[in-house]
């Protein structure tokens, strides 16, 4: 009977781990660059990965970006508020598959490598 409980506990742990969602986390992104980004496992209270942006009403063109785990109730919503007297509007777009909310640094590096290869091939075709 003791072995049955151990087996059920291990099985339950595997099932719980299988249902955890992995998301790209970016606490602060500016001008398309994520500062301090990482991959995180969401807890059971958050069922979605999200990409969000906050636009400050005073500047109009300055936007902060963020990514991470989010409760599905906030998905697709737009929120407004103030921070230190400055008004802002923030919105959240969600997805529900692992790492669906953003490119990792590896994908950015592949883009840079591809551009370098194209420029290199063009440079090699030029004759003096």
pLDDT digit string, tens, across residues 7-31: 434 334 444 444 589 999 998 888 7
* Maximum pairwise Cα distance, the chain: 83
Q: In whole angstroms, give the CA distance from residue 49 to residue 39.
A: 11
Question: Which residues are bridge partners to 55 per DSSP?
Answer: 63, 89
Q: Which domains does the chain have, with CATH numbers?
A: 2-102 (2.10.60.10)
Q: What is the pLDDT of residue 16?
A: 43
Choose between 109 and 89: higher pLDDT: 89
Q: What is the pLDDT of residue 56?
A: 83
Averaged pLDDT score across all residues of the chain: 74
Residue 97 has pLDDT above 70, yes or no: yes
Q: What is the pLDDT of residue 12?
A: 43
Per DSSP bridges, beta strands 86-95 and 38-41 are unpaired
Residue of 54, 47, 34, 53 lying closest to 95 (CA atoms): 47
pLDDT digit string, tens, across residues 48-68: 999 999 888 776 667 889 999
Choose between 57 and 127: higher pLDDT: 57
Per DSSP bridges, beta strands 63-70 and 48-56 are antiparallel
- Between the alpha carbon of residue 127 and those of residues 118, 121, 122, 123, 124, the distances in Å are 16, 12, 10, 9, 8
């Amino acid at each position: 009977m003791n072995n049955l409980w151990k087996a059920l506990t291990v099985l339950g742990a595997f099932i719980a781990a299988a249902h955890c969602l992995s998301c790209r986390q970016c606490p602060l992104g500016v001008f398309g660059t994520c500062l301090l980004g990482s991959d995180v496992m969401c807890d059971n209270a958050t069922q979605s990965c999200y990409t969000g942006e906050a636009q400050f009403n005073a500047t109009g063109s300055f936007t902060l970006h963020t990514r991470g785990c989010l409760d599905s109730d906030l998905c697709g919503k737009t929120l407004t508020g103030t921070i230190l007297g400055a008004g802002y509007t923030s919105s959240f777009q969600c997805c529900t598959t692992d790492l669906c909310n953003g490119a990792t640094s590896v994908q950015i590096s592949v883009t840079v490598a591809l551009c370098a290869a194209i420029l290199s091939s063009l440079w090699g075709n030029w004759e003096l």
